[in-house]
Structure 1
Amino acid sequence: AGSQLREVFDKINNLLSGKSVQSGGRTVSVTQHPQGLEFVYYKLAEKFVSQGEEEVASHYDAAFPIAVVASGIWELHPRVGDLFLAHLHRKCPYSVPFYPSLKEGTSMEEHQRMLGYQVKDSKVEEQDHFLKRMSGLIRLYAAVIQLQWPYGNKDGTHPHGLNYGWHWLAQMLNMEPLADVTATVLLDFLEVCGNALMKQYKAQFWKIMVLIQEDYIPRIEAITSSGQMGSLMRLKKFME
């Protein structure tokens, strides 16, 4: 609800602005430690991103309330935005977009981590779980770039708006696709902010859609094995 979001937003904004706030039955303030503010910036950005891979991954609708608060805080406290992108890119290189290649001297385990997989005791997480987390993170990013805090300065410009989404899409289509991953994140991105991009970019947007349909989907198809068809079929259905 709007009132709950305002309460959360105000509490975070007050904390970052140096005011005392109640948390866990205690009064806390960033002024209590010389590095207090920097620590809270870091942990807050980390929390926004972890909500992407947890809440949003399980409930797609959660992307919007989380994103509108994150976007509003980013507008007032740009350092949070910088750290949000740093955490996001580390956990989900596809949000850059970037596909880390296997470099000489890098272990397979380390390479899997660079690709965004969770590796515990040399055991790599299952593909379905990995894709679910990546979906949550991409959906959160796609929501952040199109939403502004509605109760703030009406003239304020978005700190990381739709032009970044347009750039992401163009870059994505200039990269060689990866089986399973590319179709998944492309669908997530377009489902969340395709409509906003269409309103802003109009004819240019439809040209990109034709390019995806006629050129990029066949390229994804060419590298997709029969066991990885799920995400590709969902993307094709969406594009119809």
Structure 2
Amino acid sequence: MWRDELEESDSEVEDNEEEEETIAAKHDGHEAEVFTNKLESLVARMQIDMSLSAVLTRIQVYHAAYVSRVAAIHTQTMAELQRCRDLQLQQETLQEKEGLPKHEEVEGVLKKYAEKILSQQAAAADLRKEELLQRLQEQQQQQQEQQQLLEQQQQEQERATMVAELRESYAQFSDALDTVLAEITECGDVALPEDTTEALNATLQLGSEALSGDADAEALQQSTARLTDGLAVLSHIREVIQTHRNSSRRDEQESEAAATLVSLAGDVPQATAELSCAKRRLEELTATHSSVMRLSGEFLATEDTELRGKLSYALSVVNKFHNDSDASNREKLHTLVSLLTGQRCAAGAQHVQVADPHSPVAMFVKEQLSSKLIALAHDKQVSSQAVYASLIVRLGSFDPLLLDLCVYQLYRTCPYLVPQVPQREEYETVEEYHRALGYRHKDGGEREALDSYLKRMGAASQLFGRLVCLDGDKPPTGQNTSTEQNLWSLGPQLGWRWLSRMLLCPVQSAVTCAVLHGFLSVAGALMVKVYGRQMHKMMDHFIERLLPLAEQTTREGGEADLASLKSLMTNYSHTRTFQPPPEGYRALL
């Protein structure tokens, strides 16, 4: 019913709109006709300017007025249409309100049906959710099982890798240990410390237990690391053994070379006699030193620590001499002379005196002083060598025994100054033989390097040359004549005898070059001055025969000393002289 009423209302509205459009069209046509008539009558009544520009202007004005009127009519028409539409909308609203009760009933039925559908869908969704959750849990459980299986397989693979690494390390360690033990057995004079042997055996046992048992990953890693460290230790031991082998091989080569050394004089009875004379002199000095050491030991065995302290303090001034010639050096010299001659001398804030020159106390002083003088002059303070050489001669002028002890210490430092070339005896060890040659050894028995040894030998021969040169100066006046006579046996004649005997000794390659260069660089000029043509002949003999032989026998490590000697000899060949000798006593006073 309400639908039929609504359709009738719509048809009425459409009819009204058609009538309104017809009326508007008629109204618009009538208005245009009236306006045109009025315009024509107005033109007829008025005298109008009919020029083209005026006509066009008026046409534009009229056209604007016409357009404005048409727009006003259109606006009025549209307002009427809007009023009709509003009326239609009100009617539709009223009709909807009249049919509302039935619409609510339909909506209620639809709502119940929708709620039922929603309930069914919610139940289905819950069921689906439970199924999805259960399936998700099953998937998670499967993933966990797979992860555990993968982890287990990975652990097994890692353990297998660790076992393989351990087995390889164990095999390497076992082989290396067998090799080291075989090399130690082959060397004969090498042995592992007991604690090292125990540690290596414990490492081997630990690796064996880890391989035989069901060890965990941590134990396998520890065993592998222990074996790796053990391999490093064995590698170091093998390096030590190889170094020892090389040293032994080098020692054997040196011994073989020493057994086949060639002298420039050959097998001449006179040469043997000269060398025997030098050897007897060394034996005399050795006996003197042994006697002094015995008496010095008696003093050291006493409990007079206070006197030993005073003497040591008084002797410490020997370390403080320097190259500057001033009153400080003379004051220190006076302290040492007073100590040697039985006079009172300062020992810090106190005084000390050695009255008996033959007592154990005096022997202690002389032995300590001679050892310090030679060590300082040739080793620790080479730059002050001239000062200490002068000091040795000055102190020796007051005490010949001290001079003999200094010469013994110098020969002990460098046996080539005797000269003699020690031969290895059957009962001697390698270390004992090297000590006889003048090598120094550390506490562990390691021998000093060759370059250090050659440097010390050269410095000792320089000191020997300085002592020889000091004969060119006059001793201080007012001293004992017999003492002076004993002292000047150090002069050029000693240097000449030494050079002559060096011609008779076997050439020791680098060592021979080092000692000859050290002596000639200091005392060569004095020897040329004193012996003239004889010295020239000796030098020519050295150049023609010794240098070629030294070049043939010089091994690795002695090239520098050979080059230095060749340079010195070349300069001598050009100038027929050497550099001037040191100043002797004047270096100290």
**Corresponding residue for residue 82 of structure 2:** none
CA contact (8 A) 2:342 2:356 kept: no
Q: Which one of 496, 503, 510 corresponds to residue 166 of structure 1? A: 496
**Corresponding residue for residue 506 of structure 2:** 176
Instruction: Check if 1:141 corresponds to 2:464.
Output: yes
**Corresponding residue for residue 18 of structure 1:** 342
Instruction: Check if 1:215 corresponds to 2:542.
Output: no
CA contact (8 A) 1:162 1:197 kept: yes
**Corresponding residue for residue 228 of structure 1:** 558
Moved more, 163-172 or 152-161: 152-161
**Corresponding residue for residue 396 of structure 2:** 74
Moved more, 203-212 or 151-160: 151-160
The within-5 A match list for 1:186-205 is 186-205=516-535
Render the CA deviation track for 1:148-168: whole Å, top value 9, x for unaligned: 575612884424211111111
**Corresponding residue for residue 107 of structure 1:** 429
Instruction: Check if 1:64 corresponds to 2:389.
Output: no
Distance in 2 between residues matched to 1:70 and 1:227, nearest whole Å: 33
Distance in 2 between residues matched to 1:56 and 1:108, nearest whole Å: 30
Are residues 227 and 65 of structure 1, via their aligned partners in 2, closer, same or farther at CA, if it must alter by over 3 Å?
closer
Q: Under a length normalisation based on structure 1, what TM-score does the superposition of the two structures give?
A: 0.91
Distance in 2 between residues matched to 1:124 and 1:176, nearest whole Å: 23
Q: Under a length normalisation based on structure 2, what TM-score does the superposition of the two structures give?
A: 0.38
Distance in 2 between residues matched to 1:25 and 1:205, nearest whole Å: 53
Q: Which amino acid aligns with 1:153?
A: T
Render the CA deviation track for 1:187-209: whole Å, top value 9, x for unaligned: 00000100111111111111111
Distance in 2 between residues matched to 1:129 and 1:164, nearest whole Å: 27
Instruction: Check if 1:97 corresponds to 2:416.
Output: no
SS across alignment from 2:469: coil
Moved more, 26-35 or 116-125: 26-35
How far residue 109 of structure 1 moved from its aligned partner, in angstroms, is 0.6
Moved more, 186-195 or 138-147: 138-147
Q: How many equivalent residue pairs?
A: 237
**Corresponding residue for residue 51 of structure 1:** 376
SS across alignment from 2:342: coil
Distance in 1 between residues matched to 2:416 and 2:354, nearest whole Å: 33
How far residue 111 of structure 1 moved from its aligned partner, in angstroms, is 0.5
Q: Which amino acid aligns with 1:118?
A: R
Are residues 78 and 100 of structure 1, via their aligned partners in 2, closer, same or farther at CA, if it must alter by over 3 Å?
same
**Corresponding residue for residue 406 of structure 2:** 84
Instruction: Check if 1:153 corresponds to 2:477.
Output: yes
Q: Which amino acid aligns with 1:167?
A: R
Q: Which amino acid aligns with 1:55?
A: K
How far residue 239 of structure 1 moved from its aligned partner, in angstroms, is 0.6
Render the CA deviation track for 1:168-221: whole Å, top value 9, x for unaligned: 111112111112111011000000100111111111111111011111111111
**Corresponding residue for residue 118 of structure 1:** 440
Distance in 1 between residues matched to 2:381 and 2:524, nearest whole Å: 18
SS across alignment from 1:215: helix
Q: Which amino acid aligns with 2:464?
A: Y
Q: Which amino acid aligns with 2:466?
A: A
Distance in 2 between residues matched to 1:22 and 1:78, nearest whole Å: 23
CA contact (8 A) 1:217 1:236 kept: yes
Q: Which amino acid aligns with 2:336?
A: I
Q: Which amino acid aligns with 2:364?
A: F
Distance in 1 between residues matched to 2:405 and 2:494, nearest whole Å: 16
Render the CA deviation track for 1:61-109: whole Å, top value 9, x for unaligned: x221111111121122100111111111112111111111111110001
Are residues 227 and 41 of structure 1, via their aligned partners in 2, closer, same or farther at CA, if it must alter by over 3 Å?
closer
Instruction: Check if 1:29 corresponds to 2:343.
Output: no
Q: Which amino acid aligns with 2:363?
A: E
CA contact (8 A) 2:342 2:353 kept: yes
Which structure would you say has the larger Rg? 2
Instruction: Check if 1:128 corresponds to 2:458.
Output: no
Are residues 226 and 46 of structure 1, via their aligned partners in 2, closer, same or farther at CA, if it must alter by over 3 Å?
closer
Distance in 2 between residues matched to 1:184 and 1:74, nearest whole Å: 27
When the two chains are superposed, the root-mean-square deviation of aligned CA atoms in Å is 2.1
CA contact (8 A) 2:374 2:409 kept: yes
How far residue 23 of structure 1 moved from its aligned partner, in angstroms, is 2.9
5+ residue gaps, structure 1, are none
Distance in 2 between residues matched to 1:185 and 1:234, nearest whole Å: 11
5+ residue gaps, structure 2, are 1-323, 571-589
Distance in 1 between residues matched to 2:423 and 2:396, nearest whole Å: 31
Q: Which amino acid aligns with 1:27?
A: H
Are residues 151 and 182 of structure 1, via their aligned partners in 2, closer, same or farther at CA, if it must alter by over 3 Å?
closer
How far residue 27 of structure 1 moved from its aligned partner, in angstroms, is 1.6
SS across alignment from 1:27: strand
Identity %: 29
Distance in 2 between residues matched to 1:130 and 1:239, nearest whole Å: 23
Distance in 2 between residues matched to 1:116 and 1:162, nearest whole Å: 25
CA contact (8 A) 2:450 2:557 kept: no
Q: Which amino acid aligns with 1:147?
A: L
CA contact (8 A) 2:377 2:389 kept: no
Distance in 2 between residues matched to 1:99 and 1:212, nearest whole Å: 18
